[in-house]
Chains A and B, each alone.
Chain A
Amino acid sequence: GAVVSQHPSWVICKSGTSVKIECRSLDFQATTMFWYRQFPKQSLMLMATSNEGSKATYEQGVEKDKFLINHASLTLSTLTVTSAHPEDSSFYICSAPWAGWEFFGPGTRLTVL
């Protein structure tokens, strides 16, 4: 089956710094990838759809300038949390569709001090 990886699996950073999270499709090409975030007491929330070679599509309420998404190749999408603050601490997970199904990455736990 298709495999999606994320890097790093966890990261701790200082407030005000930027953090980049990578999402890779290892054995298939993905023109689209999805970024999710888990909020406390809630299930996963779709943040944005990453489109290879074009701008990402953000869900309502998600700040584009805060969460920069770049889908530079058919196997890599990156999410950069800019000027991170403690409220950005969360679990971020990406996914990529293949053959009509969606495959999840293992997730990245971000802690902003």
Chain B
Amino acid sequence: GENVEQHPSTLSVQEGDSAVIKCTYSDSASNYFPWYKQELGKRPQLIIDIRSNVGEKKDQRIAVTLNKTAKHFSLHITETQPEDSAVYFCAASVYNNNDMRFGAGTRLTVKP
């Protein structure tokens, strides 16, 4: 089955710097990769996702890149702000299939 690894487990950056979180997956059939953000005391929220027919997707300060050959995908947050502090989870699944595997999560802290 699919195995998703996420790194780093914790990440601390200064406000305004960029943050990068990386995930690798094992199942070459996986073609859907969502990212979730969970803020302290709040429910996880889908923030961005990417399908394997594209290599990069951007939404304002957030971008996700995908390298199918290497089986890894990354979340990039630019111009970080304190409100970006949260736990971020990556996941991988086969689109239109009922299965999803999560990474272990990355706790991002943005220092003012």
Contact = CB atoms under 8 A, between A and B. Distances in A.
Contacts of B102: 93, 104, 106-107
A106 B89 CA distance: 13
Interface string A40-55: 1101101000000000
A85 interface: no
Interface residues of A, number: 21
B34 A43 contact: yes
A23 to B, nearest CB: 14
B60 interface: no
Interface residues of B, number: 20
Interface stretch (B14-22, B36-44, B62-70, B73-81): B36-44
B98 A89 contact: yes
Contacts of B11: none
27 contacts: A38-B99, A40-B95, A40-B96, A40-B98, A41-B95, A43-B34, A43-B49, A44-B36, A46-B43, A89-B98, A91-B98, A91-B100, A93-B100, A93-B102, A101-B38, A101-B87, A102-B38, A102-B44, A104-B89, A104-B102, A106-B101, A107-B100, A107-B101, A109-B98, A109-B99, A110-B98, A111-B98
Interface of A: 34, 38, 40-41, 43-44, 46, 89-91, 93, 95, 100-102, 104, 106-107, 109-111
